[in-house]
Copies of this chain bind each other. A is one copy, B any other.
């Protein structure tokens, strides 16, 4: 993309309403614009990152064998009356009346709707196991929306639901979700720690929240420092293997890691003192096995091998897609701006032309741009007439991980400059080598 043809409304001043760094940088980098309280338009740069995160979530869910679909944003109140949640949910549920006076609501979650789909179409254990998921906009009418997309009212979430014959099968689905979530967050450049969560009124041990450590996190967290040494990496895993998935669960959840909601000082005291950590965290996902709560209430029964009708065991599993942008920035920035992890960056590379209008510099930039495009890499080429300082400041602010700087002086020596946004280090290289380096970083075969 040529910047002269893009829509990237970068702000010089810090908007006064933004209290945390991710919100400030998302506004300044022209990623979002508030449409009304807690509701945002995603400007082109923000939309690209949102899509990248969505794609990672889709790929990892499908790798785990989960099936994509899409439920609508608006739901009928009737299903929520069946489950008993219509009255329980309180003021965060946005209630709507249509022109015929029917009670509707903007879905904050989808247990009722998915259970209704399931009971309409599935009646035999032979059709199990089944996990369906979608990525859809949801609404929670927060009394005080704040922190930009971190605590918005209209937000994008992946929510998935497993349907299984037995508790044992449902716990395998739980473990599959844990593995797929670990993979997803790592691909986004995040370390998200599964922490024992509060099962709420249902209770039970089978719920974990995934937290990203960040000073601005809303939750206080307590953990054994050994847990931050764990990475899933690119190990092969068979999602059908109960043993393999269970082993990952044990590896990632056997050490102490809890939020203030479930923190237990007595157990925490058993962790060797030098490994005890207190910090703040941002919740970016949750997995939850809740048994037959909804299948009982809504009559989602299947016939088992003996011919008996039994309620299915279910769980729901969420990833906060839009909030992840905030979490990633909270964990990846400096005082100049955002530092995107390669996995989610809106453009793979920036190109800065130090002397737009100089024939040689323009031609060199065009050639680099064309080479990167041919490799399937997206570059943002700053082809404007802005002075060099302004171009660098904008590139640093929007946080592309790699930048190629092209100027007449370097070209005389046959080199351009390749700069890492994260380390700030620059190397001078012939253009072909800079392109090859970028191709290697992103796993693209160079020409």
Contact = CB atoms under 8 A, between A and B. Distances in A.
Interface of A: 5-7, 9, 30, 33, 35-37, 39-44, 46-48, 50, 65, 67-76, 78, 91-92, 94, 96, 98-99, 102, 104, 106, 113, 116-117, 120-122, 127, 130, 132, 134, 137, 139, 141, 143, 153-154
Contact of A69 (B42, B116, B122): B42
B91 A99 contact: yes
A99 B141 contact: yes
Contact of A35 (B44, B96, B113, B137): B113
Nearest to A39: B72
17 contacts: A5-B65, A7-B69, A7-B121, A7-B127, A33-B117, A33-B120, A35-B72, A36-B74, A37-B102, A41-B72, A41-B117, A44-B69, A47-B69, A50-B70, A72-B137, A92-B99, A94-B99
B67 A6 contact: yes
Given A73-B154, A137-B137, 16 more contacts: A9-B121, A39-B75, A41-B117, A42-B71, A43-B69, A44-B68, A47-B68, A47-B134, A72-B137, A73-B137, A74-B106, A94-B98, A96-B96, A96-B106, A99-B141, A99-B143
Contacts of A137: 72-73, 137
Contacts of A50: 70
A129 to B, nearest CB: 9
B65 A117 contact: no
Contact of A36 (B39, B104, B127): B104
Contact of A7 (B5, B67, B139): B67
Contacts of A94: 96, 98-99
Contacts of A70: 41-42, 47, 50
A43 to B, nearest CB: 6
Nearest to A137: B73
Across the A-B interface, the 4 shortest Cβ-Cβ residue pairs:
A9-B121, A36-B76, A42-B70, A41-B71
Contacts of A35: 71-72, 75-76, 113, 116
A43 B7 CA distance: 35
Contacts of A153: 74
